[in-house]
Amino acid sequence: MPFQLSKIQPSKSSITPPEDVSLNFTLSSSVGVKYIINYSLAKANNLYFKKADGTRTKQFSYEGTMGSAVAVFNEDVRIVSEGPKAYTFFTIKVTAKEGLNGDIKSCKISIS
Amino acid sequence: MKHLVPSGGNLFFKVFFLLYFCHIAVDAQVVTKQKTVTKTSTAVLIGATEITLDISGRSFSDILPFDIPFILAGTQGVNSKITLDKIISIECFYKVRKDIKNNEKFPDPSEQKRYQDWEDGRMYAFWENNGSDAKWRLSIKELPPNRNFSFFFKFKRKLSDDEKTKLVNHAVKIIPKLINQKADNSVVSLSIKDMDEIMYATINQLNVDLMGSGQEIDEIALSEMNRKIVLKAMEEVAFAFEERIDEQESISMNFDALKGDSTALAKFLSGYKTSADKNAGNVSAMNNVVNSLKSIFSYPKGENAINPENAKNYLNQIEYVKAELEKAQFQDGSPFNNIKNTFIGHLEDLARNFNEYIESINNTITITNTETNNFITAVVNSFEDEIIVNSSTINHNFVTRSNSFITADIGVALMPSIAKMVPYLGTNIYLRPINQDRPLFMKDLFKLRDFDRRFSLMLGLTYITLKKDGYRDDLMGTFNLITGAGIRIADFVKVNGGVIWHTRLNPNPLNTNNTVRGLGFVSLSIDLQINTVFNKLFGANVITLPTKP
């Protein structure tokens, strides 16, 4: 019963917040396995996800069930920043969990 | 009673000096002040005076020569341990210190506009190491006399491959430690400020380690381009750390899952041991699994956790537990089969996690080494040392200084009014210091900038008697005083004009009240310092300093 995240591939290697970026990755497991996917940004930086309702958050998650052995994700996220440019790069961490088991991967995006 | 009455004079003298001063006046009107800096490598002057830069004393080996180009030379960088082969290039800006008043400080090299301050309108020299020079040499343009100067040197230098390797080995230990300190527990998030702090902390730590080695790094000199390279290097290292942390967290989650599996297994085993369905092989395998779980749940922490060998050993433990689990066989429908499959699934996930973890450890090491090398290369390319050396073209020794103002020559004076020629020994008094090593060119004869190097007042004594019985007598014994002014028309040839003073005897033989009279003259003279040339040409002592008439 594998439970494995692939590398996260961002659609852009460099962005200027506020800007959208698409995160592409796959989750391998067994059909019917329930999972939780969590997206997070570092607490310490001044970057946030902007949700559809306009609010800002450091993380968001949702649940799903594996319909096939490999689930493909294309998650569009909008990155916004508070204050002046203080970082040259940031990472988005994706955590997939199935019960106690889980897998974590990060991707790096430069700030231009 | 004596009367001072100059008489005579001559047309040639008057015409020559009239024409000369007319040309000078015209030249003065067309001279414009030029102040430019040409940043090209200056050709080394062959045979020029060489002044050595004393690194430790921040001084030159001698007073600076004036009016002639000269060479500043040395064999070391600003630190005696920096040898010539490590110097890439030297830039030198120099200027007169007239702008420095009282306690006003010299421009501080740490100030942002330090170069501009020195580059604007200052004189410039440049030397680049071509690998074949025995010492560095800067050709310095001619300096005016009686001035103080400041020389601002910028030494660009490099490290040898060995020194660079040592520096990388230092930095490889320092940088990850500093990134760890700055990083969040779970997520690496480094601000520009954090990275700047890491960069400067690294450089400072390197400087502490390198203190006294002559390889200290001037972090101020980091160019913007190199700073970007350094920040990029730290970014790559930080992300490699983050990926390793991800794998550690994935492992941590699988640990939790395995602990759940372990609890389920223990529960099954307690029931299984009491059942009649015992199988010696299964019991042995189960016991091995349970015993091995202790080592699985106690993976090293801290520095040991990121040791690839420890991780490989741990991976072997996982494979062993998995193999032991697979040995245990139960009939279909046994609750053990579900526990076993889940357990093996989690072990496989953990094994995969550990393989990725080992890869991330190696990746972190590789990236840290590569990027630290980039970091150090960027820093090393910014090695620049700066020193200011003050010096002067003023000679503070009275006797030596007088040599720059006074010269002696020997000449022949023509007195048209009495149709006589007399040799004389003259002393020339210049109105400014002159450097006789500076060649004079005929084309510059009428140039204003050359006037004070050529013009001098003259005082001397005629060398033979002008005595004429009953009419004229010598002023001092057999000497007569000669006064005037002259222009050097070539290096050692002067044209002079003036008056030869003698005693005019009273025509009345009973009256001893004579007068002092002057006879106008023009003369050609040669500098006495070239007497050796004549001596070599014509044999010994053709020209000697007169002792007695």
Give me the interface pTM, i.e. the ipTM.
Answer: 0.91
Instruction: Name the domain boundary from B338, B362, B392.
Output: B392
Q: Do the Cβ atoms of A106 and B242 come within 8 Å?
A: yes
> Are B91 and B236 found together in one domain?
no
The amino acid at residue A88 is T
Half-sphere CA count of B153, side-chain side, radius 13 A: 29
Q: Which residues of A touch B (CB under 8 A)?
A: 1-4, 40-45, 85-91, 93, 95, 97, 99-106, 108, 110
Residue B24 in contact with partner chain A when CB distance is under 8 A: no
Identify the CA nearest to B426 among candidates B500, B482, B501, B492: B482
Domain count, chain B: 3
Min distance A59 CA to chain B CA atoms (Å) = 13
> Are B170 and B106 found together in one domain?
no
Q: Do the Cβ atoms of B239 and A91 come within 8 Å?
A: yes
Residue B211 in contact with partner chain A when CB distance is under 8 A: no
For residue B193, give the nearest of A41, A43, A86 by CB distance: A86
Report residue B204 CA to chain centroid gap.
21
Residue B264 in contact with partner chain A when CB distance is under 8 A: no
Contacts of B296 (CB under 8 A, 6+ apart): B258, B314, B317, B318, B321
Q: Which of B182, B185, B188, B259 would you mutate first to test chain A, the one with the most A CBs within 10 A? A: B188
Min distance B78 CA to chain A CA atoms (Å) = 36
Task: Identify whether the C-beta of residue A112 lies closer than 8 Å to the C-beta of residue A52.
Answer: no
Nearest C-alpha in A relative to B250: A103
Min distance B269 CA to chain A CA atoms (Å) = 22
B547: in domain: no
B220: in domain: yes
B501: in domain: yes
> Are B374 and B517 found together in one domain?
no
> Are B265 and B197 found together in one domain?
yes
What are the boundaries of each domain within chain A? Answer: 4-107
Per DSSP, the three-state class of B142 is coil
* Count of residues in chain B: 549
> Are B8 and B82 found together in one domain?
no
B445: in domain: yes
> Are B181 and B201 found together in one domain?
yes
Q: Which CATH number fits domain A4-107: 3.40.50.300, 2.60.40.740, 3.40.1050.10, 1.10.3720.10?
A: 2.60.40.740
B38: in domain: no
> Are B150 and B166 found together in one domain?
no
Q: What is the pLDDT along chain B (549 residues), one digit of tens a residue?
A: 444 444 444 555 565 556 566 555 555 554 444 444 445 555 666 778 899 998 778 889 999 999 999 999 988 877 777 788 888 889 888 888 765 554 445 554 444 444 455 555 567 888 888 888 889 999 998 898 888 888 888 888 877 778 788 888 888 888 888 887 776 555 567 788 888 888 888 888 888 877 766 666 766 666 777 788 888 888 898 899 889 888 988 888 888 888 888 888 888 877 776 555 556 667 777 778 888 887 777 777 777 788 888 888 889 988 998 998 888 887 777 888 888 888 898 899 889 988 999 999 999 999 999 998 888 888 776 677 778 888 889 888 888 888 889 999 999 999 999 999 999 999 999 999 998 888 888 888 888 878 888 999 999 999 889 999 889 999 988 899 999 999 999 888 999 999 999 999 988 878 888 899 999 999 999 988 876 656 665 555 555 555 544
Instruction: Name the domain boundary from B373, B392, B411.
Output: B392
Instruction: Name the domain boundary from B392, B424, B439.
Output: B392
> Are B166 and B261 found together in one domain?
yes
For residue B364, give the CATH number of its domain.
1.20.58
> Are B445 and B497 found together in one domain?
yes
Q: Do the Cβ atoms of A4 and B247 come within 8 Å?
A: no
Domain containing residue B199: 160-382
B366: in domain: yes
Distances (CA, A) of B441 to B17, B46, B175, B402, B492: 18, 19, 64, 24, 11
> Are B247 and B365 found together in one domain?
yes
Q: Do the Cβ atoms of A108 and B239 come within 8 Å?
A: yes
For residue A87, give the nearest of B191, B250, B256 by CB distance: B191
B39: in domain: no
Min distance A42 CA to chain B CA atoms (Å) = 6
* Count of residues in chain A: 112
> Are B243 and B371 found together in one domain?
yes
